[in-house]
A and B are shown apart, each in its own frame.
Chain A
Amino acid sequence: MHTVCTAIATAVAGLLASCVTAYAQAIDYSALQDVIGEPVTTSVTGKPQRVSELPGSMIVITAEQIARSPARDVPSLLKTYAGIDVNRWTAGQSDVAVRGGVQTYNARLLVLVDGRQVYLDHYGMTNWNLLGVASEDIQQIELLRGPASALYGFNASTGVVNIITRRPGDTTALRTEASAGNHGMNRVAASLYVPVTDRVGAKVTASRLREDERRVPATILDRPRFTVAADHVAAALDAASGATTATLGGGYDLSRQVEFLPTQLLSNQLYRSYNLRAGMTHDTEWGGLAFSGFVDWLDADYGTDGSIGGLARGLTLSNRIMVGKAAGLYRLGADDTLRLGFEFRNNHLASNAQYADIVGYNVASANAMVDLHPTGRMTTTAAVRLDQLWLYQSGAIARPAVDDPASYRQAFHRVSFNAAVLVRTGIEGQLRINGGLGYQLPSLTNYAFRLEVALPEPLPASLIVAGSPNIRPTGTWSAEIGYSDRRGGIRGEATAFYAHTNGAIAPPSEVPSELTEVQFLPGPVIVERYYAAGDYTTFGTELTLSGRLALLDWRANYTWTTTRSDLDNRNALSPILVQPALTTPTHKVNVQLGYDGGARWLATGILRYTSATQQFALAPEVPLAVVKLFHVADAIALDARLGFRLSRGIEVFVAGENLTLAGGAAVSPIPADRRVRGGLRATF
C-alpha cells in the first residue's frame, strides 16, 4: 500500500506546481535588502515582504549582525532575542525553544537551511552542530515565533528557524575565519564563491570545530567525554537564465558530542549526515512557480563509548528522508497573493533497536495561503494545510514482538491553520493579531523504538522500552497580539502570547505503574512506552526596544513566560520528564550595545539575565541512578566581542561568552563555563 502511495504522491509532487521555502530560494535576499533598506523575508506568507510589515512575529538576524556578534553558533545568536529559550546542555548540545516548553531534544521547532530540513526526524530534534553551514556563509537567520504548520507542515508547532545562505555573486569571493580559544577550542571555516559563467555560479563551504566538553559535577551521572567535533563540507551550483533559476547542491556533516537524551541520560553520540538537493524556480507575469526536492541520509550512533543507559552496547540508527515540493504563487492584483502548494515526503528509519528492520511513513500534503489587502491600512492572511500520513513497517520484526504488525499499517490526517490581521496605525505603527494550530509529529523513535533490558535477579521478567504505533501528533493552539511603532528614532514592539499544547509526548523513563504493560510472550515482559503525558499552557509577554545613537546601536528586550501544566505523573517514582513549568525561565532580559565607527574598531557587548529554573539529570544513586531535578541559579552573563580591522577585508577579533562566569547562564544542570576565543576573519 505504501509503495502505491509513494508512487502516486511522487508523481503528483513532480507534476504540480507550495512550499514557502521552495519559492524562497529564487529570491536574492541581499539585493532586495539593498533596494528596500531593510531585511526581506518570504517565510511568513511565501512572498517577499519587508520584515517591518509581516503578519507574524519574526526575528531576522542579518549577516552584518552575525559578523559583529560574540556568539559562536546559531543557538548563541538566537538566545539574545525575546521569546527564545536556549539551553546549552553541554558544550556541544543545545536546544532552542520558542515561548516556553523547554526540554531536551526539543521536537517542536522546525529548522531549515535554504528550505532543506535539518531537523532530525529519527528522534525529533535538531543537532545545532549538524546544520551543514558555516556562520560566515549565512545571509540571514529568520525565526518565526508561533505555530507555522500551515506553512511548513509537521513539527513547526511552536516556530520555524530558516537559515538563508549566501548566493554566489558575479565576482569571485572568499570568506575565511580561523580562531582558537580556551577549553581546547579551535575552528577554521571557509566559503568560496566563484562565477563559473555569467549565468552559473558555484559555492564551496567547509568548516571544522573542536572544543572540550564542560566539566560535569559529581552529582550528575557522567560518561567518558570526548572532544566536541563539528565538521562540514558543502557545495552548490546556482544557474539563472532569463526568468528561470536552478540550483543543485549537496553536503556532508559530522558531529560528535555528549548529550542529554530525552530520558536525561548523558550519552556520547556520533552523527554523520549526507544530503543532496535541487530546485528550480520560474518567474512569470502573474507570480512564480517553484519546484524543489532533497534527500537526507543520517547515520547516528548512540553510546559511542560502548554503553548507553547501563547497557553494554550502543545504538545505531539510519534515517533517510526524501522530500519533493511544488509551489505556485499567484498575484491577485497589485498587492494580493494566493499560494498553492503540494508536498510529498518519505521518511524511514532502520535501527538495531526498533520494532522491525524498517519503520517509516509517507506524508502527502496540500496547502493554500491568501494574503489580502482589503484597505491600504489592513492586511489579512489565512493559511490552511492538510497532511495525510501513512505509517508502515517492513522486514524482520524483533522478537518478542510487543505490538501486532497490523498496528503499524495505519493512516491519519491533520489540518493545521494560521490566520492574521495587520492594521497600520501610522507611518510605522501597526497592530497585529494572529494565531493558529500546529502539530508536532511523533518521531520515528516514538513510533518504533524497542530496546530489551534484562532485569536483575530475582525478577522473573524482562523489560522492553518501546515506542508506540498508536501515539498521536501533539497539537499546539496559539494566539498573540502585538503592537510595534517607531518614535523619535526608537523602535518598540510589545507582544502578548498564549499557547496551549495537547498531549505532550514524554519518554518512558520510570513511567508510572498505571502506564506499564505486562505481556506474556510467552514469558512475562514489562513494557514501558513513550506516552502522552498531558497538556500545558504557556502565556507571557515580550517587550523589545531598539535604536541608534550616532555610532552606537542598541537593543533591549524582556520576556515574561509562565506555564500552567496538567501533566499527571500518576504516582510514578520520578517526575515526568516534560515539565515546562519548572524548566522554562520566567524572566529573561537582554541588553545589547554595539559600536561600529566604520573605521578600525568595532565592539559589541550583551548583558543577559535569566531567572532560576530546575532542570533534569540522572543522579548516580545506589543501587540505581535516578532522575532528579537540579536547581539552576539565576544568572547575569556578559558576552562581548571586540574587532579591529587591519584593512577593508581583514579583521582580528577577540570574543567571549559568559565572561561573568555565571553558572546558570547555560540553563543546564551542568554549570556554564567561560569561553573566550580570538581569531582572524578575512574576506577577499
Chain B
Amino acid sequence: MRIAPILRAATLILACAAPLRAELSVPIATRVLTFLLPAPRGPTQVAIVVAPDNAASLADAVAIERAVGGGVAVGGALVRTRRVPVTALEGLRGYRAAFVTAGLRGAHDDIAAAARRHAVVTITSDPACVQAARCVVGITSGTRVQITVNRVAARAVHARFGSAFLMLVKEI
C-alpha cells in the first residue's frame, strides 16, 4: 500500500534529524562557554586545534567553521574561531577556549600541556581526551546530549564553571 513508503520516508527523516555525530556540536560548545565564571563577553576568539594533514581533524574543523560562520552570538559574547595547527600550539596564547577536533589522539598530551600553560579551556567531541584528563569538556550529541567535565583538567587551566551547569553534566 502507500503507507510503507511514507513510513520509510518518515524513518529517513527522523534518522537525518538526529544523527549520531562524531564532530563537535558548535551550538552546544559555544553555549558551554557561557557557563564559565566569569562568562566571556564581547568579541571572543576561540581556537580550533587542527591537524591539516589529518582528514578527520580537517573535516571537523571545516564543520566548526561552517557552523560559526561570521560569528555566533551566545550570552553576551560573539564567538569567532581561528585555526591553530597542532604543530604550533604556542599559538593558543591569548585564547580563552579551544575546540579540539577529532582524530588528534596522538597529540592530546601536547594539547593539554599547551592549554595548561596558556589557561585555555579545551572542548572536544572525543570522550577519550576528557577521560584522560587532557581535555576539559567533552560533548556527545546523539539522541541525548551528554556533557562531561574533567575536574582535574579544569583545575589545570584555572577554569571554573557555574555550579548549576556542573550539577547538570557528568563531572569526573
Any A CB within 8 A of the CB of B144: yes
Q: Which of A27, A170, A171, A428 contacts B164 (CB 8 A)?
A: A27
Check B10 against A283 for contact (C-beta < 8 Å): no
Check B171 against A48 for contact (C-beta < 8 Å): no
Give the interface residue-count category, chain B: 20 to 34
Q: Which of B34, B73, B165, B171 contacts A334 (CB 8 A)?
A: B171
B118 to chain A, nearest CB (A): 22
Check B166 against A331 for contact (C-beta < 8 Å): yes
* Residues of the B chain whose Cβ atoms lie less than 8 Å from the Cβ of A335: 171
Instruction: Tell me which residues from 1 to 17 in chain B have a Cβ below 8 Å from any Cβ of chain A.
Output: 9-10, 13-14
CA distance A285 to B160 in the complex (A): 8
Of chain B, the residue at the smallest CB distance from A27 is B164
Q: Spot the interface stretch: A3-11, A30-38, A135-143.
A: A30-38
Check B31 against A35 for contact (C-beta < 8 Å): yes
Give the interface residue-count category, chain A: 35 or more
* Residues of the B chain whose Cβ atoms lie less than 8 Å from the Cβ of A286: 163
CA distance A31 to B27 in the complex (A): 11
Of chain A, the residue at the smallest CB distance from B75 is A170
CA distance A50 to B37 in the complex (A): 22
A113 to chain B, nearest CB (A): 20
CA distance A335 to B167 in the complex (A): 7
Q: Which of A40, A285, A331, A427 contacts B168 (CB 8 A)?
A: A40
User: Given A35-B35, A334-B171, A550-B13, is A283 in contact with B162 using a C-beta cutoff of 8 Å?
Assistant: yes
Instruction: Tell me which residues from 29 to 49 in chain B have a Cβ below 8 Å from any Cβ of chain A.
Output: 31-32, 34-35, 37-38, 41
CA distance A209 to B107 in the complex (A): 63
User: Given A37-B145, A243-B162, A283-B162, is A331 in contact with B167 using a C-beta cutoff of 8 Å?
Assistant: yes
Any B CB within 8 A of the CB of A548: yes
* Residues of the B chain whose Cβ atoms lie less than 8 Å from the Cβ of A34: 27-28, 31
Any B CB within 8 A of the CB of A26: yes
* Residues of the B chain whose Cβ atoms lie less than 8 Å from the Cβ of A427: 144
Check B164 against A331 for contact (C-beta < 8 Å): no
Check B168 against A50 for contact (C-beta < 8 Å): yes
Any B CB within 8 A of the CB of A549: yes
CA distance A427 to B27 in the complex (A): 24
B89 to chain A, nearest CB (A): 27
User: Beta-carbon contacts of A542-573 to B below 8 Å, as 1s and 0s?
Assistant: 00000011100000000000000000000000
B105 to chain A, nearest CB (A): 25
* Residues of the B chain whose Cβ atoms lie less than 8 Å from the Cβ of A285: 160, 163
Check A37 against B163 for contact (C-beta < 8 Å): no
* Residues of the B chain whose Cβ atoms lie less than 8 Å from the Cβ of A37: 28, 141, 144-145
Instruction: Tell me which residues from 621 to 656 in chain A have a Cβ below 8 Å from any Cβ of chain B.
Output: none
User: Beta-carbon contacts of A309-343 to B below 8 Å, as 1s and 0s?
Assistant: 00000000000000000000101001101000000
Check A284 against B165 for contact (C-beta < 8 Å): no
* Residues of the A chain whose Cβ atoms lie less than 8 Å from the Cβ of B41: 198
* Residues of the B chain whose Cβ atoms lie less than 8 Å from the Cβ of A337: 167
CA distance A178 to B38 in the complex (A): 40
Check B163 against A36 for contact (C-beta < 8 Å): no
Of chain A, the residue at the smallest CB distance from B11 is A489
Any A CB within 8 A of the CB of B70: no
CA distance A20 to B76 in the complex (A): 27
Q: Which of B31, B166, B168 has the most A CB atoms < 10 Å from its CB? A: B168
Instruction: Tell me which residues from 25 to 57 in chain A have a Cβ below 8 Å from any Cβ of chain B.
Output: 26-28, 31-32, 34-38, 40, 47-50
Of chain A, the residue at the smallest CB distance from B78 is A170
B137 to chain A, nearest CB (A): 11
User: Beta-carbon contacts of A148-170 to B below 8 Å, as 1s and 0s?
Assistant: 00000000000000000000001
Any B CB within 8 A of the CB of A287: yes
Check A31 against B31 for contact (C-beta < 8 Å): yes
Q: Which of A50, A329, A428, A489 has the most B CB atoms < 10 Å from its CB? A: A489
Check A242 against B164 for contact (C-beta < 8 Å): no
Any A CB within 8 A of the CB of B128: no
* Residues of the A chain whose Cβ atoms lie less than 8 Å from the Cβ of B167: 47-49, 331, 337
CA distance A285 to B158 in the complex (A): 13
Of chain B, the residue at the smallest CB distance from A46 is B167
B30 to chain A, nearest CB (A): 9
Any B CB within 8 A of the CB of A475: no
Q: Which of A35, A243, A283, A550 contacts B28 (CB 8 A)?
A: A35
CA distance A198 to B75 in the complex (A): 11
Of chain A, the residue at the smallest CB distance from B170 is A334
Check A49 against B168 for contact (C-beta < 8 Å): yes
Check B168 against A489 for contact (C-beta < 8 Å): no
Check A36 against B38 for contact (C-beta < 8 Å): no
Any A CB within 8 A of the CB of B67: no
Check B76 against A283 for contact (C-beta < 8 Å): no
* Residues of the B chain whose Cβ atoms lie less than 8 Å from the Cβ of A287: 163
User: Beta-carbon contacts of A272-292 to B below 8 Å, as 1s and 0s?
Assistant: 000000000001111110000
A236 to chain B, nearest CB (A): 18
CA distance A413 to B160 in the complex (A): 42
Any A CB within 8 A of the CB of B115: no
Check A489 against B160 for contact (C-beta < 8 Å): no
* Residues of the A chain whose Cβ atoms lie less than 8 Å from the Cβ of B164: 26-28, 32, 47-48, 283, 288
Instruction: Tell me which residues from 93 to 147 in chain B have a Cβ below 8 Å from any Cβ of chain A.
Output: 141, 144-145, 147
Instruction: Tell me which residues from 657 to 673 in chain A have a Cβ below 8 Å from any Cβ of chain B.
Output: none
* Residues of the A chain whose Cβ atoms lie less than 8 Å from the Cβ of B32: 35
Instruction: Tell me which residues from 157 to 205 in chain A have a Cβ below 8 Å from any Cβ of chain B.
Output: 170-171, 198
CA distance A326 to B75 in the complex (A): 28
Of chain B, the residue at the smallest CB distance from A40 is B168
User: Given A31-B34, A170-B76, A198-B76, is A283 in contact with B144 using a C-beta cutoff of 8 Å?
Assistant: no
B94 to chain A, nearest CB (A): 21
CA distance A334 to B41 in the complex (A): 28
User: Given A170-B76, A550-B10, is A48 in contact with B168 using a C-beta cutoff of 8 Å?
Assistant: yes
- Can you identify 10 A-B contacts, CB atoms within 8 angstroms? A27-B164, A31-B75, A34-B27, A35-B32, A35-B147, A35-B168, A40-B168, A47-B164, A284-B163, A331-B163
Supplied contacts A47-B167, A549-B10, A550-B14, 12 more A-B pairs, CB within 8 Å: A31-B35, A34-B27, A34-B28, A34-B31, A48-B168, A170-B73, A242-B37, A283-B162, A335-B171, A337-B167, A549-B14, A550-B9
Interface residues of B (CB under 8 A from A): 9-10, 13-14, 27-28, 31-32, 34-35, 37-38, 41, 73, 75-76, 141, 144-145, 147, 151, 160, 162-168, 170-172
Interface residues of A (CB under 8 A from B): 26-28, 31-32, 34-38, 40, 47-50, 170-171, 198, 242-243, 283-288, 329, 331, 334-335, 337, 427-428, 489, 548-550
Pairs A-B, 8 closest by C-beta atoms: A37-B145, A170-B76, A334-B171, A35-B31, A47-B167, A550-B13, A48-B164, A34-B31
